[in-house]
């Protein structure tokens, strides 16, 4: 069971109580308020099965970005007091937390109308390519540990969705899924050069510090220096262990 649109609305105890009464696992999407974080922590302390997802874009894009790039930064904005709570949860949440992107590669045409009528503009942004490097930038700036990033982006999702230990860890018997990062490497994001077909990014012009330079899936290199180096069809469906 999942519940989304948790942006500026508080998480209420009711969700947790429903989860306990029905004995289902409750997963909260787009957790984006300090109140929601507190209430999810309360539910977990009560023995209720609640997990949460957060989108780094909610923290990285500030009101200055909204003023600068308008509809390309929306639809979401997190006030500073909530952004601080989210960052604190990234470091040490008292519940299972995973990172996600809510990747929404809308066209420029779908966004441009927002300059005159924001209600008509499509929300979301293409984030899947840059969320991990942005977290590595946080590591270099001392905001997060590299171990915590690995947990949020790999280990925790694999455990939550039943792929662990086939995925989410490096050990004998697991798939050789490995991302190699260069923590000293820097790069400026250029929207027109991203892999996603829409060819724009809300992070256009941002400098990254710390980049993935190679990705292996089942022991085979599939990405090298930002370019896909494997043919379509290499992907393989993985059924969760239940």
CB neighbour burial string for 154-175, b if at least 16 within 10 angstroms, e if fewer: bbbbbbbeebbbbbbbeeeeeb
Query: Helix, strand or coil for residue 111?
Result: helix
d(CA 167, CA 48): 26
Q: Which residues contact 38 (CB under 8 A, 6 or more apart)?
A: 11
Cβ contact 15:60 at 8 Å: no
**Catalytic choice (102, 138, 175, 177):** 102
Cβ contact 204:196 at 8 Å: no
d(CA 86, CA 160): 20
Lookup result for tokens 């109580």: 17
Cβ contact 19:49 at 8 Å: yes
Phi, psi angle pair for 70, to nearest 5°: 50, -120
**Is residue 204 flagged as an active site residue?**
no
Strands (E) across the chain are located at 2-3, 26-28, 50-54, 97-99, 178-188, 207-217, 220-224, 227-228
Select from 235, 189, 183, 193 the least CA-distant residue to 213.
183
Q: Which residues are catalytic?
A: 102
């Amino acid at each position: 069971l999942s519940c989304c649109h948790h942006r500026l609305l508080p998480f209420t105890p009711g969700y947790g109580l429903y989860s306990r009464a029905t004995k289902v696992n409750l997963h909260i999407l787009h957790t984006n308020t300090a109140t929601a974080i507190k209430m999810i922590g309360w539910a977990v302390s009560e023995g209720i099965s609640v997990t949460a997802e957060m989108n780094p874009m909610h923290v990285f894009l500030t009101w200055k970005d909204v003023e600068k790039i308008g509809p390309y930064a929306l639809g979401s904005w997190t006030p500073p007091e909530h952004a601080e709570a989210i960052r604190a949860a990234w470091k040490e949440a008292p519940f299972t937390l995973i990172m996600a992107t809510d990747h929404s590669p809308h066209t420029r045409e779908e966004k441009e109308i927002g300059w005159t009528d924001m209600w008509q503009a499509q929300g979301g942004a293409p984030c899947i390519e840059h969320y991990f490097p942005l977290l590595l930038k946080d590591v270099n700036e001392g905001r997060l540990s590299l171990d915590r990033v690995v947990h949020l982006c790999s280990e925790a999702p694999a455990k939550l969705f039943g792929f662990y230990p086939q995925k989410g860890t490096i050990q004998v018997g697991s798939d050789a899924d490995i991302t190699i990062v260069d923590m000293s490497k820097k790069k400026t994001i250029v929207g027109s050069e991203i892999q996603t077909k829409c060819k724009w990014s809300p992070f256009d012009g941002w400098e990254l510090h710390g980049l993935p330079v190679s990705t292996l899936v089942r022991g085979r290199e599939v990405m090298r220096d930002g370019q896909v180096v494997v043919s379509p069809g290499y992907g393989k469906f993985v059924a969760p262990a239940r």
